[in-house]
Amino acid sequence: MFNYKLWIFELSIILVGLVSFITLNGNAYHFDDVYGGFIQSFRSEGLNTFVEAITYIGNWQSIVILCILLLAFDKTRKWLGVPVTLVAIVSSVANRLLKEYIARPRPDASNMLIDQDGFSFPSGHTATAIAVTVLIAYILVRNLDNKKKAWFYSVCLVLLGILISLSRVYLGVHYASDVFAGIFVGLGSFSLVAMFFYPHKKDFAKWKKKFNDKIDSLEVIDESKVDIIDEDN
């Protein structure tokens, strides 16, 4: 059976490396100008307020509150709280490492609609938003009995992640290439955590066999100890 989560992880790593290489060599600015300019051409006073609200949903404070809420209740702790918290941590750490390595300055502050400091590449909002929304969508589709509702919620969640990603370019705090890299970081984080909590059938069978073999070996040791004690008596 095709292990699509592993395929997504490997492809995401390759694409993050490719976009990072292009950015480091200064070859991403034409792409950024074209697509960034296109997105920012839709700016208007009313839309600005809406997009600011969307981008704040992806703030680290919002993600922390979400994780705390999911961990606080027994009904959501195990199947949502733990994996969502882990994917938020993984995507944040991966994003921070890349930011420090690439050290790309932010776009011109005069074009920003909100204040933002730190390095630009990749977009942390995008990485975490994509990782969290895609993972929750994946878990809902796997676990909810009502598949129509599960897919509806999942599509809404993924669209929210995409809107958060686009908002970073619209507000002028990220280049378009930052967002693309953030998407791949998010997808890589999602697939890594999903593989851990929902392993491929072949991997699960392999781990189950190892576990059963370990249990069997422990039982053999215990039986041998009993035999030794019986012989001594």
Average the pLDDT over 89-106 and give the result.
93
Tokens representing 153?
Answer: 């919620």
SS3 171: coil
Tokens representing 90?
Answer: 């993984």
Average the pLDDT over 107-125 and give the result.
91
Tokens representing 31?
Answer: 């792409």
Pick the closest to residue 174 from 27, 22, 61, 35 (CA basis): 35
- Asked whether the CA dihedral 181, 183, 189, 191 is positive or negative, the reply is negative
Domain boundaries, the chain: 11-198, 201-233
**What average pLDDT is seen over the chain?**
87
pLDDT: which is higher, 220 or 178: 178
Q: What angle do CA 69, 159, 180 make, to 5 degrees?
A: 105
What pLDDT digit, counting tens, does each position of 3-52 carry?
Answer: 888 999 999 999 999 999 999 888 888 899 999 999 999 999 889 999 99
What pLDDT digit, counting tens, does each position of 178-211 carry?
Answer: 999 999 999 999 999 999 988 865 544 554 555 5
CB atoms closer than 10 angstroms to residue 39:
18
Pick the CATH number of 11-198 from 1.20.144.10, 3.10.180.10, 3.40.50.720, 3.40.50.80: 1.20.144.10
First-last CA distance in the chain: 55
**Cα–Cα distance list, 13 to 134, 181, 186, 193 (Å):** 17, 10, 10, 14
Q: Give the helix/strand (H/E) hosting 181.
A: helix 176-197
- Asked whether the CA dihedral 191, 195, 201, 206 is positive or negative, the reply is positive
Whole-number Å distance between alpha carbons of 134 and 100: 26
Q: What angle do CA 141, 167, 15 make, to 5 degrees?
A: 65
Residues 6+ away with beta carbon under 8 Å from 165: 123, 125, 126, 129, 130, 179, 182, 183
Average the pLDDT over 132-154 and give the result.
92
Residue 232 has pLDDT above 70, yes or no: no
Residues 6+ away with beta carbon under 8 Å from 193: 83, 86, 87, 90, 131, 135
Residues in the chain: 233
